[in-house]
Structures are given as C-alpha cells and as structure tokens.
Amino acid sequence: MPIDTAPGPQHLAATPWIQSDHPAVQAFAAEHARGGNPRDRAVALYLAVRDRVRYDPYRIDLSDTGMSASRVLEQGHGWCVPKAVLLAAVCRAQGIAARLGFADVRNHLSTERLRNTMKTDVFAWHGYTSLWLDGAWRKATPAFNIELCEKFGLLPLEFDGERDSLYHPFDREGRQHMEYVNERGAFDDLPLAQLRAAFREIYPDMPTASDVAEGDFAADAAREAARG
C-alpha cells in the first residue's frame, strides 16, 4: 500500500490477530485511552502498550493464538510484532485507523543468548504500528517497556502522535543501538505466513512456541550492560 494512502474500513476492522472486538482488548482500550482527541488517546494507548506489556524476545510463539492481541494481554509480555498487533487492536477499538509496518533492523545491543540463537544481529520483520492521525500515517514502536530501557541503558522511545516513533540509533552512552537496514512496508493485517517462512529460513534454531524458551531477557540484558 502506498505510504500516503488514506485509511479505509479495513483499518478499523477486527481480524483474527488485530482483535479490536475482543472484550479484553476493548476493556484495555477503554481504560487507557485518555484525552479529548484521537491523537491524545493514541499517545495514551501507546504508552500503555509499551509499559504494561513486558518486552520478551525469548518467548516467540508464531501460532495463530500466540500472535493475537488478546494473548499478549493475557500473558503480559510479547516481542515487537505482537506488541505492535496489540497497539493496532486497541487503537482500532477506539476508532483510530491502524495498520502494521515491518522493517529489518540491526540490533547492536542484543543479549549473548539471543545472538547465539539467531546467529545474526539482524532482526528480520521487526514490527511497529502505523496510526492515522491528523491526516497522515504516524509510525509508533511500542516494543521496549520503560523498565527494560532503564536496565539496559536505552533511551525510552516516546510517541507524541505528530512525529514517527522509531528506534534510536544510539543508547544513553552513545553506543550503537538500532540500525534500519530494510523496509518491508505496511500491511492491513498481520502477514503471519510470511513471518513464519522468514523465521524458518533465517532463524532455524529459534524456539517458536511460548512454552519452549525459558530465561529472563531483562535480567540478561541488565547483566551484560553492567559488564560493558
């Protein structure tokens, strides 16, 4: 879809993954959408998804249920793609048009365990959310919760509803953090078949069910950050 295309009915519709009609999703949206206009409500929902759902790339579940917005809320954790799905869902539940965006990023501050599993520092199909606000699509990336940023020495990723919210290139100490290396475009719904195929090809050793992986990503990140 062209980047400047105005939203259509599909950007407010519920899907099997972007479950804007799910009771838990609607309750979360109603609780956290604060403000007198769509932009303020979108910002409030962004902060709620960013900080109330813990970022955890150790537990990647590519099943239909595992990638759904309601499952992210149920578990209280998720990696970048399901957190982006959840943000799209709660925004659609509040009448804010939303879609998903994907890019490949080079992560210079991963953990040793994640690097050993992935065999690369490139995260393919990193997910974010695009929201239609004030006549334009705004990119919002709700991946890293504030506690993780503090432990890992990262600059929190803010979103004001006016400018794109994308990963910072450097951390608090000026070390390289994230580098966007390939843009995959915008999607009206989660392209799960493409994600599964890409992960099978690029990350054959990565567990892909939430009950397989164990460990604490935040603790590993903090320990490795402390070592320098």
Domain total of the chain: 1
- Phi, psi at residue 41, to the nearest 5°? -70, -40
Helix (H, G, I), strand (E, B) or coil at 127: strand
Q: How confident is the model at residue 4 (pLDDT cuts 50, 70, 90)?
A: low
User: What pLDDT, on a 0 to 100 scale, did the predictor assign at position 203?
Assistant: 87
Task: Report if residue 165 sits inside a domain.
Answer: yes
Task: Report if residue 159 sits inside a domain.
Answer: yes
Average pLDDT over residues 151-180: 80
pLDDT digits (tens, 9 = 90+) for 182-195: 899 999 999 999 99
User: What pLDDT, on a 0 to 100 scale, did the predictor assign at position 114?
Assistant: 78
Task: Report if residue 83 sits inside a domain.
Answer: yes
Q: In the β-sheet with 178-187, what is the strand arrangement from edge to edge?
A: 136-140, 122-133, 98-107, 178-187
Q: Is 30 exposed, middle or buried (0-12, 13-18, 19+ CB in 10 A)?
A: exposed
Integer Cα distance of 146 and 48 in angstroms: 11
The CATH number given to whatever domain includes residue 80 is 3.10.620
Q: What's the CA angle centered on 20, arms 19 and 22, to 5 degrees?
A: 65
Average pLDDT over residues 67-76: 96
Integer Cα distance of 130 and 42 in angstroms: 11
Owning domain of residue 209: 17-227
pLDDT digits (tens, 9 = 90+) for 27-71: 999 999 999 999 999 999 999 999 999 998 888 899 999 999 999
Task: Report if residue 166 sits inside a domain.
Answer: yes
Partners of 170 in the β-ladder: 176
Task: Report if residue 8 sits inside a domain.
Answer: no
Average pLDDT over residues 69-84: 96
Task: Report if residue 179 sits inside a domain.
Answer: yes
User: What pLDDT, on a 0 to 100 scale, did the predictor assign at position 217?
Assistant: 79
Q: Which of 3, 18, 56, 13 is nearest to 207 (CA)?
A: 56
Task: Report if residue 12 sits inside a domain.
Answer: no
